[in-house]
Amino acid sequence: MTRDGGATKLTDVVRLMRVNRLGQGVDATGRLAPEALQRTFEAADEYAALIREHGAEHIRFVATSASRDAENRAEFTAGIRERLGVEPEVISGDEEAALSFAGATSVLGSDNGAKTLVVDLGGGSTEFVLGTSDTVLAAKSTDMGCVRFTERHLTSNPPTEAQIALARGDVLDMIARVLSTVPLAEADRLVGVAGTITTVTAHALSLPEYSAEAIHGTELDISRIDQAAAELLHMDRDERAALPYMHPGRVDVIGAGALIWQTIVDRVSELTDGRVSSAITSEHDILDGIALSAAR
């Protein structure tokens, strides 16, 4: 961590992403599945080893949508406490939104007073945050994510048109609820974060492999996002798995995530009368927001 003119700058020592799908089945059962807990604990063991190796002095563990909704979350928190020696913080949707905004905007540069809408599209929830470079103006967390919507709607391989229509209608309903809290029509630019959106961007760029450097900061117009998202949505599982930039843990849920992102982008463009005609992809997200909060 360094400070530049009062701003905190982060430098990655090790940056890992593990798609554990902790929220598997939570939407239907209200409980964290044993196999999802096992995957998460295995990742925590790996992180514990890295923490020891690099001598980290402070640990903050943040848990989001799946753990908020699960009635057996005590089993999850006990397992993390045993492995990392810290109490997992099951944060609210509002705090999740604020952390995502802080992480995404920390590397975007000056906005000259423009209002930025950050959308963090996760497995169980999606956060909408409107703000300027130093102020969150409004935020809303929704129970809408790629895992939740795959299990709720897109159950065929590939999904049927009827399933897609119901899912899209559900996304539009969620956006309508967001409008009561977040004035999306005031957005001057749109930034998307998290794995679904970076994967849609990788597909739009036809990357030969996943490259955070190539993806970060990419600005795509709506037509390219629509095309890439539609292609991912209509592929079958084998076609998605064969894509060189597709994380194995995202193969089953990227279709729903792509549909959600496409629908959000299109609706924001409509609400802003076309002022927002593109979206920027950021590889910096809630993880950076958490690290900044710990550094402070």
Find how far residue 230's CA is from the centre of its chain. Answer: 19
User: Angle at the Cα of 145 (from 211 to 24), degrees rounded to 5?
Assistant: 95
Q: Beta strand pairing status for 126-132 and 135-142? A: antiparallel
Is the separation of the CB atoms in 141 and 93 below 8 Å?
yes
pLDDT of residue 4: 52
Find how far residue 134's CA is from the centre of its chain. Answer: 21
Instruction: Summarize pLDDT for 40-64 with one digit per residue, the tens.
Output: 999 999 999 999 999 988 888 888 7
User: Angle at the Cα of 122 (from 179 to 241), degrees rounded to 5?
Assistant: 130
The DSSP code for 19 is -
Instruction: Summarize pLDDT for 86-116 with one digit per residue, the tens.
Output: 988 888 877 877 887 888 877 676 567 789 9
pLDDT of residue 42: 93
